[in-house]
Amino acid sequence: MRTPNPPEADVPTTPPAIPDLPPPVPRPTRGEAEAAVRTLLRWACDDPMREGLLDTPARVVRSYEEFFAGYATDPVALLERSFAEVEGYDEIVLLRNIRLESYCEHHMVPIIGTAHVAYLPAGRVVGISKLARVVEAYAKRLQIQEKLTAQIANTIDAVLRPRGVAVVLESAHQCMTTRGVHQPGVTMVTSRMLGAFRDDANTRRELLALIRGGAA
């Protein structure tokens, strides 16, 4: 006669602990940042002590505060206030031609273009300026365009919970136009479609017609 199997031990439901992550690298001081710019000026074979370049390190550091201001902005917080008084409106909300200024994380040169952001409300809408601010919050960081497109769409989808989200970016990359292959006039287009914009061809077609400025 076989001995019955012992009862299975309770399986712990607590997820495994996440290993401790290394602490973030301390942010350099303003003086250290300016010293780094002087080093780059010397690397470019110029004299950071000549009259025309004396104030350049300070100017560059101030510019970086503006170029990369997105690191200090929480895109989720921008979308947390929404409005329910929409009289049942549930059609496409599209903000076209948002100016896009980002920075290539491989060469730290500008990415300039436009963003088109759309969603299908599910009972609530958000102030349209918030859509542009979400674009800016992610764009004002070191980026690649594919990741930037996904970040914008995923955040809008996660916070607003609409029936669909669409983001289309069109931009020129100076890492390609002013160096390397030197191809001015080339535009890169990326898109991310979620919900109805991905699943319903007619809804997607209507959106793309609206982006082009025509009727579906």
Checking if the pLDDT of 121 tops 60, the result is: yes
- Say which range, 19-33, 46-60, 125-139, 191-205, has the weakest mean pLDDT: 19-33
Q: What is the pLDDT of residues 128-184, one digit of tens each?
A: 999 999 999 999 999 999 999 999 999 999 999 999 999 999 999 998 888 888 888
| CA gap 125, 172 in Å, rounded | 31
pTM of the prediction?
A: 0.85
Instruction: Give the catalytic positions in this structure.
Output: 104-107, 145, 173, 175
* pLDDT at position 23: 65
Q: What is the pLDDT of residues 41-71, one digit of tens each?
A: 999 999 999 999 999 999 999 999 999 999 9
* pLDDT at position 22: 60
